[in-house]
Structure 1
Amino acid sequence: MEYPVFICDDDASQVARVSQIIKSAEVILSDEETVKFNLVEQAASYAEAAAFLKANPLDGGIYILDIELGKSVSKDNGFDLAEQIKRQDERAQIIFFTTHDDLSIITFRRRLGPIDYIVKTDDLDVLKKRLTKTLEVAIYQLSKFNVMKEMTFSYKVGRNIRNVNIDNIYYIKTTQTPHKLQLVLKDGQREFFGFISKIAKENPMLVKISQSCIINPKNLENVDTKNYKVEFANGDEQYYSRSVAKEMKDLIKQYNLKNASEVSKFNGLFKH
């Protein structure tokens, strides 16, 4: 797995040490899965870092930030940069470097939620152990976030974001109103504006079966390959496109579903 890393520190020697440790951490943390840290950029000032991240926003990045940019905790420091990062990257993993160990109250008040504060030291071994452990925590947090995101479907109603568990979804289909979609759940229905193709792309656990419908295959009751339709546990039926016929047969095997047309054929033979 590859993780983008961004470093902002005005101490060139510190950046060199951190970069060296990051490389060695790849080997240490590569166990069942190969870990690669991709150093996308390093900056020496708030302005330089802010400009780069605005033009090149990261998703699920690891950010190693010096709090005292310019040798002081004044305006345009590591805290300010972290606030911008949090607005851009909801999965951001922030690691603060500092010459002080008493700045945690500031991050608490500003709700920055870093995964660690590391006090700068010239002891390379101490720094290596601490940063490697912190990078391991970052990887764990990102993997946990990814699992939660996969299991959650989010949609917007007005200015509000609504979240539902993917397992609670039967299907999402278009309505007669342009761009208005109907979300059919185990416990009811919702309507919101969106695009079927975009939702399918952003939610890999859902399957697009036609230009007008996305389904949760986990909640299928059976598939009728003769009539090109699927049935859900609540009795609802939706038709699927002939172009996805092969994919539907794969779903039958993957989820051990009943094939309604095969059951009908078998019953006909049994009666004779």
Structure 2
Amino acid sequence: MLPIYLLEDDDVQRKNYSKFINNSIMINDANMELKLATAKTEALFDSCVAPEKAIFFLDMEIDNNNIAGLEAAERIKKEVPLAQIIFITTHDELSLVTLERRIAPMDYILKSKGNDSIKKSINNDIALAQNYFDRFARHSQNIFNYRIGSRFFNILMDDVIMIFTEKIAPGQVTLISKHQRSSFSGSLNSIENIYPDLFRCDRSYLVNLDNAKSYDGKERILTFTDGSTCKVSFRKGRELLGILEDRDN
């Protein structure tokens, strides 16, 4: 479920905007939730623990700091690669600053236009964000994404050879592609759920059969275009033969 975060230091406005956001989620039947509505940037970042994607509604002025929301947005852009940012503010003069700092917000909502206009804008923004993330999800099936520390990486799924785990490195997975080898934190179960086109040939291996070169059914050895190999479990061997036979027909 896609998280939504609201940063607004006025109690009445925070309550109103939370209501608008929750109503918009229902109206758009969006797979989203308002994860946090807070008056403090510290609480925002304490709650927002490195999601890959999220929606942020930010007041520009927090605790008499006219650019607190702007500063928060800059940090969000660094930590949340697919963040969609919407400012709700009285400071129309700062809209150009968001461009200068390359924040590229989805929307810039002015409080002076009144609650009816704000409610309509929030509803439209949630609908637009839902469409954006739906399109990204379809596209991302062709892209393999992973994270090492605070850095995000992506490669074409066509380049993925295999992903595996080793007993000597619990909690780590290793990716072998046509052009690189990388290790990062993760689990094969979660990767398999996100990328169902990868084949689980063994408890420790996920493979891209599009890059398979040959399969020795007697030895249960799968060989790939780069010369790498992996063992196929007895249970998965029959399923693999069926897949390969269907591809040949």
TM bin (shorter chain): 0.7 to 0.9
Within-5 A mapping of 1:37-186: 37-53=32-48, 56-74=49-67, 77-121=68-112, 123-153=114-144, 163-171=154-162, 183-185=176-178
Q: Aligned-pair distance for 1:148?
A: 4.2
* 1:52–1:168 Cα change, 3 Å: closer
Give structure 1 stretches of 5+ with no counterpart: 260-272
Q: Which amino acid aligns with 1:215?
A: V
State the distance in 1 between where 2:180 and 2:222 align.
21
* 1:148–1:123 Cα change, 3 Å: same
SS at match of 2:144: strand
* 1:83–1:243 Cα change, 3 Å: farther
* 1:211–1:51 Cα change, 3 Å: closer
Q: Which amino acid aligns with 1:9?
A: E
Q: State TM-score, norm by structure 2.
A: 0.75
Q: Aligned-pair distance for 1:90?
A: 1.6
Q: Aligned-pair distance for 1:4?
A: 1.4
Instruction: Pick which of 225-234 and 61-70 moved more.
Output: 225-234
Q: Find the partner of 2:180 among 184, 190, 195.
A: 190
Q: Which amino acid aligns with 1:152?
A: I
Q: State TM-score, norm by structure 1.
A: 0.70
SS at match of 1:104: helix
State the distance in 2 between where 1:258 and 1:236 align.
22
State the distance in 2 between where 1:36 and 1:162 align.
25
Q: Aligned-pair distance for 1:250?
A: 6.5
SS at match of 1:63: strand
Provide the aligned length of Structure 1 versus Structure 2. Answer: 242
Identity of aligned residues (%): 24
Question: What residue in structure 2 maps to residue 17 of structure 1?
Answer: 16
SS at match of 2:180: strand
State the distance in 1 between where 2:6 and 2:175 align.
44
Preserved contact between residue 153 and residue 165 of structure 1 (Cα < 8 Å): yes
State the distance in 1 between where 2:22 and 2:7 align.
17
Q: Aligned-pair distance for 1:135?
A: 1.1
Preserved contact between residue 3 and residue 32 of structure 2 (Cα < 8 Å): yes
State the distance in 2 between where 1:160 and 1:61 align.
17
Q: Aligned-pair distance for 1:100?
A: 2.4
State the distance in 2 between where 1:201 and 1:109 align.
38
State the distance in 2 between where 1:251 and 1:4 align.
37
